[in-house]
Structure 1
Amino acid sequence: MDDTLSRHESISTDGTSNDTPESWDGESHSDSSPSVDYEIKIHDASYPFVDSTIPPLPSSSSSATATAIMTAGSKRFRINYVASNNSGRSIGDDVTPKVEEIDGAEDLQSIKPLEAETPMATSTTAPTAAPVNVPRKRGRPRKHPLPVPGGQIKITKGRSKTGCITCRRRKKKCDETKPSCLNCQKNAVVCEGYPPKEIWKSGKQKMEDAARTKVLAAVPRSLPLLIDGVETEIDRRFLDHFVYGFSRVLTLINDDTNPFKEILLPMAAQHRGLMHSLMCLSGSHLSAFDPSPMLKERKFYHFHHAIQDLKDNIMSSSVKSSGASQEPELLVEDPIIASTIALSLNTICEGETKGEYRPHMDAARYLLVTQQPRNEKFRQFIVEFFQYHDVSNSITSLDRRPALRSDDLKLPDFVPQQAGMFVGVFDGLFNYISDVTRLRDRIRQRSNEGYEPAVDYQILSDAVSIDSAIRTWETSHPPDTPNWFLAQLYRQSTWVYLYRTIRPSKPSDKIAQVVDDGLAYLDQLPPDSGAFSIVLMPLFLLGCSAFLPRQRERIEKGFESLKAYSNLRNIEPAFKVVRRVWEVMDTKTEDSWDWEKIINDMNMDFLIT
């Protein structure tokens, strides 16, 4: 093909002709283009053969354009050719037109007409086109190019919910340092930590959890009490005070062999009523140091439960023993007897002076006389404890007399004297005190009946026998020990009790000497000695016999030391009685002999133990 030959072709399927087709090199055809005749045969294999001959192109002075419209079956084609004037050769000699299949008529409506090409498209499709100079925009050039339209959209990051509680409340960025963030430390605020992680759960899991929670809600969460009677934090405080504080002011023994810790406490752990009694006892003593309303309220709670449990046990035991056909059995168990003793001690801790101790002491007396405790070790403890308080009670009462001489209440034969937790019971000294109390009853009776002299020969003879026994009495405690000094104090006070009983109530050298000796033994006791736990009774007897002012000063100091050690609230009413006896001594000396009557006239009734 000659280089001078320029061919243009256009194929249109829209039924319209291309009147001014552009050349391939961007030039339009001239009017001097020669006319060329073509004969083209087209065959479509998919339709029946149709022999169509394109008619010769008409001649024109300016250009030659060939348009062929034919029908091959139902298909329609249109071909336009344009040849230049300078061509001397036939286009059909070396050009084979490309025939494309026209879409169906139903698809022709969806074809949009051609639009004018944009400058950018023209520059890309026409390599020979001149470049377009875009004017430079004013201002600083961009550091980064503008984002391409239709590019990746930047996703906005949501607020983090994993920061610490403090930063989230302050609406600050948290660095999420564990366990406390550095941002809080830098700003001098307290980091409250991080909320617990929530684990996502499906709807089914949530329903299962809700059902499980509903089932668990019906199950009681509370646990049974490990020890009945010890229920709250205050109760545990009562228990600690009983073990480490209160038990040591009740006996001579301060170590772990203290019977209140060794015998009563294990028994109370198995018996609710006894535990209530001990908690009430400890609470009464503790409330003297701490008068908190909560302590008092809890103390009364234990007192009422102890009384109710005591009544229930006695009633149930009475019903069991009422059957005539039944074998003889114990009325109550050992813890019930211990509860009566504990409740009588509670009156001492409370400082009650209206005879509140009487029903508890009477119940203990009845139970000990009518039955024997099962536990032999407990029997030794309870008999000694009861006899000590029973004999001491007779010193300040007109109608309370000891049951020590009763044949139904005997001490264990195997018990050694030094094994006692009190002074005077196992070693026999309290026998002499009981004898002196009976002499006082006989003298008082003769005086009230008008007999003269009130002390007859028989009373005097019995007093001489008691005096001889007191002089020969020896304690089993080693000499020069606190317990030995305490035993000597008891011996002196017993002789003072005898002398004040058979002799007129007036000052004398003998009574003054014995009182001074007793106070000397009192001064030998260490301030923290367990001997101070049972000093009140001998100190009371010495006080009722102190005629001299110097002796009264020492007696008063003794009461102060005793109160500082034990803080039992029966010490104050005891000293109040002693001061009243001193007043009677200074006015009506003879009336000071009967201090039991003075106490009764003061409308007071309490234990001096």
Structure 2
Amino acid sequence: MTTFTDTGWPGSEPVRKTTQTKKRARQTGTAWTRSGCLTCKRRRKACDKAKPSCRNCTKQGRTCEGYGSLWVEPLGPSAHIFTPAELSKRRSGLSPHTGLLSPSLSPHPDNKIPPRVQTPKSDAPEEDSNEEISLAVIQRPRNYVPHLSDHELHYLQYHVEEGSKLLANLESDDNPLRSLLIPRAMSSPLLMKAICAVSALHLANRSQTFSALTASANFYGRTLAGLRAALNDSTQGSLTDDAMLAVGLMCKYEIVRGSVKQWGVHLSALQRMIASRGGLRTMDPDAGQFLRGLYLYAYNMARLSNRKRITAAEPNPTDTDLGAPRLDIYIGYTEEILKLCGAIADLPSLKGDDIALRLAIASINGALLAWSHDSTSYIIPQSLTPASLTRLQLVAECFRDAAFIYLHSVLEWLAIKVLGQASSLQMTDWSSLVSIPKSMAVQRCLARVETFPLDDHCEYSALTFPLFISGCENETIGHRDLVLRCLGKLQVNFGIGNVRRAKELLGILWARQDASAQHEVGSPVHWLDILDELQWDLILA
């Protein structure tokens, strides 16, 4: 038996490994040909090529799709090559039914594709020599998108069908993960590698496929090498939009991986690159809007759990006029809430000025009470359904509940850990400035979430932070099961690695809290202290 290892390197040939297993006898019958009908091609069955419909399909009661070309028929977001059943069962990094993208996504004839540059291999995990990964070799017509390898085409197709839908908090026909990134990547090898790195990692998370994990590490290493070359070749202010988009995708890669360290490096690099360009307004408008939403979401989520390491950015790349605000695929209706959470994270810096601290608490509380999803008028994509907008609004309400919980949490941490146990009376005084009690905010947030189906509607993927902070600050054992169950659904349905990290931290926190309550010794255990002990830079985006 001959097997193949998916190396993930663009342009690489599968590496043959010979095992001692018995060879299977080849089935006899009519050879599969590329000139058969589309139905037989997809089923990889022999076709008698009868017209207008082949007799094989007619005998089996199937609809014959005719004799078009698999290579020119568009495979857009509605295609279903990567089905959930295949993701759970298939061990291979490639599906034998993998299709290619629409020619509309191919480079414009006038675009000049730079030659492929061989870069050093990244430190990717080595494949277990005892593990056999089957790889279907894709056959494609000569000169079709010649600068892309089979692996790139495979992971790009997965990105179109699955990843782009599940790696956003809002799905529409105008999703920039497709409409913006893919056309640019077809003429940008650097951006293509970044997309494939994220796509392969996401596939690995959802399918537990070793070959996809190896491919993601290889694409990731090649993207970093390409970025280093771009930075070395650039002069001040001449960084390309594609290079900055690739850095944004590196932030996304680390979030999907569940990193607790490296993502901060990429986020800081993105901020510096935007500043060196003179701000987002110097970029292509669509690219600037995309990076604004991604940065604002990741940056403010990072400040919640990394107050010491992530501080107010100067200059702030989101403070720029990019025209009328669009309903962003990451922040949706939550932009003002995210900024208020960032202000909450800065409250400990006011611990030496009680008046300033009280004024800040009152201001944040008032802004949270006054917030409404329609406080800001957004440009809404025409393809969005009323159901999608309703889900987005409900998620935003959960974020407001979570912001109240987070406000109480920071005030309690500030009073007990910074000012000492004797400050409990002052802590109570601070809490009186918050209109919604913590227990009410927790109960209301979890009651909302419990009514959500938490299926693969991507709006629900944003619920990691509300669930996490509710789990940290709840005082009911029954709530723990609900939080873990809901986080588990998010992890399975959306394949984001940081959900797993959030569950790990909650497990450690609850164990410490139970031990402390059992022995009735020590000060209350706080999740921010656990993060400091672990030295985790947890991001909840």
Are 1:500 and 2:406 matched, yes or no?
no
The TM-score with structure 2 as length reference comes to: 0.62
- Which residue number corresponds to residue 514 of structure 1? 441
Q: Is the 8 A contact 1:584 1:591 kept in 2?
A: no
Deviation at 1:564, TM superposition (A): 2.1
Deviation at 1:592, TM superposition (A): 5.1
Deviation at 1:366, TM superposition (A): 0.5
**Residues 315, 530 of structure 1: CA spacing in aligned structure 2 closer, same or farther, 3 A cutoff?**
same
- Separation in 2, partners of 1:370, 1:404: 14
Q: CA RMSD in A?
A: 3.0
Deviation at 1:486, TM superposition (A): 0.4
- Which residue number corresponds to residue 435 of structure 1? 343
CA offsets per residue over residues 511-535 of structure 1, 9 Å max, x none?
2221010012212333232212211
- Separation in 2, partners of 1:533, 1:246: 13
Are 1:456 and 2:364 matched, yes or no?
no
Q: Is the 8 A contact 1:384 1:420 kept in 2?
A: yes
CA offsets per residue over residues 489-547 of structure 1, 9 Å max, x none?
00100111112222467999932221010012212333232212211122211111112
**Residues 543, 415 of structure 1: CA spacing in aligned structure 2 closer, same or farther, 3 A cutoff?**
farther
Indicate the structure whose relative CO is greater, using CA pairs within 8 Å and at least 6 residues apart. 2
Deviation at 1:244, TM superposition (A): 1.1
Which one of 328, 332, 338 corresponds to residue 239 of structure 2?
Answer: 332
**Residues 599, 294 of structure 1: CA spacing in aligned structure 2 closer, same or farther, 3 A cutoff?**
same
Alignment of 1:411-430 (within 5 A): 411-412=320-321, 414-416=323-325, 419-423=327-331, 427-430=335-338
Q: Is the 8 A contact 1:340 1:360 kept in 2?
A: yes
- Which residue number corresponds to residue 16 of structure 2? none
- Separation in 2, partners of 1:383, 1:315: 25
Three-state SS of the structure 1 residue aligned to 2:539 is: coil
Alignment of 1:72-471 (within 5 A): 226=145, 228=147, 230-232=148-150, 234-318=151-235, 321=236, 330-353=237-260, 355-371=261-277, 372=279, 373-403=282-312, 406=315, 409-412=318-321, 414-416=323-325, 419-423=327-331, 427-443=335-351, 456-471=354-369
**Residues 491, 411 of structure 1: CA spacing in aligned structure 2 closer, same or farther, 3 A cutoff?**
farther
Q: Is the 8 A contact 1:281 1:349 kept in 2?
A: yes
Q: From the two aligned structures, give the one with the greater helix fraction.
A: 2
- Which residue number corresponds to residue 505 of structure 2? 577
For 1:236, the aligned partner's letter is L
For 1:463, the aligned partner's letter is I
Q: Is the 8 A contact 2:158 2:199 kept in 1?
A: yes
Structure 1 stretches of 5 or more lacking a match?
Answer: 1-165, 167-178, 180-221, 322-329, 447-454
- Separation in 2, partners of 1:358, 1:427: 21
- Separation in 1, partners of 2:166, 2:324: 23
Q: Is the 8 A contact 1:512 1:546 kept in 2?
A: yes
Are 1:601 and 2:540 matched, yes or no?
no
- Separation in 1, partners of 2:528, 2:461: 23
Which one of 476, 479, 495 corresponds to residue 551 of structure 1?
Answer: 479
- Separation in 2, partners of 1:592, 1:263: 48
Structure 2 stretches of 5 or more lacking a match?
Answer: 1-27, 29-47, 49-140, 379-385, 417-423
- Separation in 2, partners of 1:331, 1:283: 30
Deviation at 1:379, TM superposition (A): 0.5
Identity of aligned residues (%): 17
CA offsets per residue over residues 420-470 of structure 1, 9 Å max, x none?
223367742222111100003444xx6xxxxxxxx8332122101110110
The TM-score with structure 1 as length reference comes to: 0.55
CA offsets per residue over residues 111-138 of structure 1, 9 Å max, x none?
xxxxxxxxxxxxxxxxxxxxxxxxxxxx
- Separation in 2, partners of 1:412, 1:425: 18
- Separation in 2, partners of 1:346, 1:227: 26
Three-state SS of the structure 2 residue aligned to 1:605 is: coil
**Residues 413, 272 of structure 1: CA spacing in aligned structure 2 closer, same or farther, 3 A cutoff?**
closer
- Separation in 1, partners of 2:209, 2:294: 31
Which one of 436, 452, 465 corresponds to residue 537 of structure 1?
Answer: 465
Q: Is the 8 A contact 2:180 2:287 kept in 1?
A: yes
**Residues 468, 235 of structure 1: CA spacing in aligned structure 2 closer, same or farther, 3 A cutoff?**
same
**Residues 391, 268 of structure 1: CA spacing in aligned structure 2 closer, same or farther, 3 A cutoff?**
same
- How many residue pairs were aligned? 366
